A and B are shown apart, each in its own frame.
Chain A
Amino acid sequence: MHELKAAEALGFTFDGRALTARTGDTVAAALLANGVQACRQTPVSGAARGPYCMMGVCFECLVVIDGVGNRQGCLVPLRDGMRIETQTGRRHPDGAKS
């Protein structure tokens, strides 16, 4: 996806890559705006998945944010300096990656 109109930008990282997105974006929207379509791998087959509903229903947008896993990216507002990572493996309640 791409933005209709540029606005004040926030800096964040995705899997170590430095990116920027618009103030007011959710984490999922910020990733899409940067052309990131896949943000997690399923615990069952390891298949790549990305945001599907953008409204908190499907849980396909799960990512690790600042070390905390299983966050629904489409519901979390992006903040400056956020460290976002691909969610892999089984869901862990405390967000530890497997």
Chain B
Amino acid sequence: MITLTAIDQIAEHYDIAVVGAGPTGLAAAARAAELGLSVLLADENPSPGGQIYRAITTTPVTQRGVLGEDYWKGGALVDRLWPTNTAYAPGCTVWSVAPDEVGGFELGLSLGGQARLVATDQVILATGAQERPFPIPGWTLPGVMTAGAAQIALKASGLVPSGRTVIAGCGPLLYLLAGQLAAAGANIVAVLDTMPRRNWLSALAALPDFLRSPYLAKGLKLMAAARGKLPFRTGVTALAAEGSGKVTGVSVTRGGRTKTIACDALLLHQGVIPGINLSNAAGCAQHFDHVQLCWTPTVDDWFASSIPGIAIAGDGAGIGGAESAALRGELASLDAARRFGRLTPVQRDEMAGPTRIALARSLRGRRFLDLLYRPAGAFLAPPADETIVCRCEEVTAGQIRDTASRLGVTGPNQMKAFLRCGMGPCQGRLCGPTVVELIAQAHGLSPTEVGYYRLRPPVKPITLAELAALPPTEAAVKAVVR
């Protein structure tokens, strides 16, 4: 592995570009390089591992028990990459993927404040997941963060929230984080569980598979560890962060009664969803997954997207967890090698055999978790009108509902034109799913019927200075004219 620290160290052309150095990207890059392809592994973060194995090579947390054994598995993925000649570019943002004139792709890259366009024959997007938006009144107050953010601060910097900490929401990460923060000495005054109890009914059918899955033992251990020690409150139906200028408390509704818990930090989590901005802007087809309740790129068995030459693997193509992510990256690379003619279809299938078996095993039981931890409707489409939905442009749920019903707006792109929601720097990452849900509710439509934001490159804002330095190619021109 060669680490590139400046943009001019990146070559003009690669056989394959892998975007994201989490488990998927690390496995995909390693496999492709082992098969003799020239690989660029571009990642926005300062060090490899993605979010799940965040700072695996640099973490200041030395007590292994704090982060748990699963975390330390990430080291093996990085170790596999070392002997290969993968070009690894940390701190490198990929802001555009567009077809070039010779059947490959042109990547728009930015590193250290400078932009470049680089050619590649194939692309594997391994951009992973982001946390599902959790719009409640006051969620924009400083001191309110995602549970994942607290976990990243712990892994990467050894930071623990100071003062009284409340963790709220639902999903396995909630328990994992509660356990990790408790082990690290945080003062957790409440864990507020928003999981609707009736979820058990729909999840029950998927229980047998879960009972045979690797999740079971792990999950039970987590629960037992967290539940025993921490102040859990189940059946939470409404939440609001309180404070002015920063969070000072959280109002909690349970069984029809509301009370306020004073706190200095509020950590929110209701599952993760694929990060789709890059694939969407590249024009890859996507659909709404009605089980996982999220927009998901449409891919085949080899994680090939609707655009030949672009594969999307890992959680970015549907949530499957860290173990499945690495396996999916592996499969995507085998198929990329087949496209190059390095492997015959038969060789590819043979090599994929054990990986496919492991993948099926790693995904067993996932459906049960998906159904059990489906967020309640009130946390997907906030009932309180004053709730900010688009954090960037400060557009509220009330404004969106009103515009949908009074002006007959039936799609998120039209909504954008009226209210500017999704026009800020996050480009809809934190409002898209909620805006769709609110429009769907207002008109009695499904998210599929409502559709999602149509995104354009650059998927991350880049500066005029960066753009000015680019040769005037088609992608660059498109990037400016938006």
* A and B assemble together: yes
A-contact 0/1 string along B177-214, CB 8 Å cutoff: 00000001100000000000000000000000000000
In the complex, whether A55 has a CB less than 8 A from a CB of chain B is yes
Known: A37-B246, A94-B465. A25 touches B425 (CB 8 A): no
A62 touches B425 (CB 8 A): yes
Q: Which residues of B contact A32 (CB under 8 A)?
A: 153, 159
A33 touches B159 (CB 8 A): yes
In Å, the complex CA distance between A68 and B465 comes to 11
Report the minimal beta-carbon distance from A13 to chain B, rounded to whole angstroms.
19
Report the minimal beta-carbon distance from B246 to chain A, rounded to whole angstroms.
5
In the complex, whether B366 has a CB less than 8 A from a CB of chain A is no
In Å, the complex CA distance between A87 and B474 comes to 32
Chain A interface mostly: loop
CB-based A-B contact count at 8 angstroms: 141
A-contact 0/1 string along B449-463, CB 8 Å cutoff: 000000000001101
In the complex, whether A38 has a CB less than 8 A from a CB of chain B is yes
Q: Which residues of B contact A25 (CB under 8 A)?
A: 156-157
Known: A45-B394, A57-B426. A4 touches B46 (CB 8 A): no
In the complex, whether B306 has a CB less than 8 A from a CB of chain A is no
A55 touches B149 (CB 8 A): yes
Chain B interface mostly: loop
In Å, the complex CA distance between A7 and B185 comes to 18
A29 touches B159 (CB 8 A): yes
B184 touches A48 (CB 8 A): no
Contact of A7 among B60, B91, B153, B275 (CB under 8 A): B60
Known: A5-B60, A24-B157, A70-B461. A75 touches B140 (CB 8 A): no
In the complex, whether A56 has a CB less than 8 A from a CB of chain B is yes
In Å, the complex CA distance between A62 and B391 comes to 13
A24 touches B60 (CB 8 A): yes
In the complex, whether B392 has a CB less than 8 A from a CB of chain A is yes
CB interface residues, B 89-127, toward A, < 8 Å: 91, 93, 113
Q: Which residues of A contact B55 (CB under 8 A)?
A: 24
In Å, the complex CA distance between A54 and B210 comes to 32
B160 touches A58 (CB 8 A): no
B-contact 0/1 string along A50-63, CB 8 Å cutoff: 11111111111010
What range describes how many residues of B lie at the interface? Answer: 35 or more
In Å, the complex CA distance between A51 and B66 comes to 23
In the complex, whether A49 has a CB less than 8 A from a CB of chain B is yes
Contact of A22 among B44, B141, B158, B162 (CB under 8 A): B158
Q: Which residues of B contact A20 (CB under 8 A)?
A: none
B144's nearest neighbour on chain A, judged by CB, is A52
A1's nearest neighbour on chain B, judged by CB, is B159
A91 touches B149 (CB 8 A): no
B143 touches A48 (CB 8 A): no
Contact of A57 among B45, B245, B275, B393 (CB under 8 A): B275
A48 touches B425 (CB 8 A): no
A55 touches B464 (CB 8 A): no
In Å, the complex CA distance between A55 and B394 comes to 21
In the complex, whether A35 has a CB less than 8 A from a CB of chain B is yes
In Å, the complex CA distance between A29 and B160 comes to 11
Report the minimal beta-carbon distance from B459 to chain A, rounded to whole angstroms.
11
Most chain B beta carbons < 10 A, residue from A33, A42, A60: A60
Known: A2-B160, A48-B245. A70 touches B153 (CB 8 A): no
Residues of B within 8 A of A (CB): 44-46, 51, 55, 58, 60-62, 66, 91, 93, 113, 130-131, 140-146, 148-150, 152-154, 156-162, 184-185, 245-246, 265, 275, 391-394, 424-426, 429-430, 460-461, 463-465
Beyond A53-B149, A54-B146, 20 additional pairs, beta carbon < 8 A: A1-B160, A2-B159, A24-B156, A29-B159, A35-B162, A37-B143, A37-B246, A47-B394, A52-B144, A53-B145, A54-B148, A54-B149, A54-B153, A57-B131, A59-B392, A60-B140, A62-B425, A93-B465, A94-B463, A95-B463
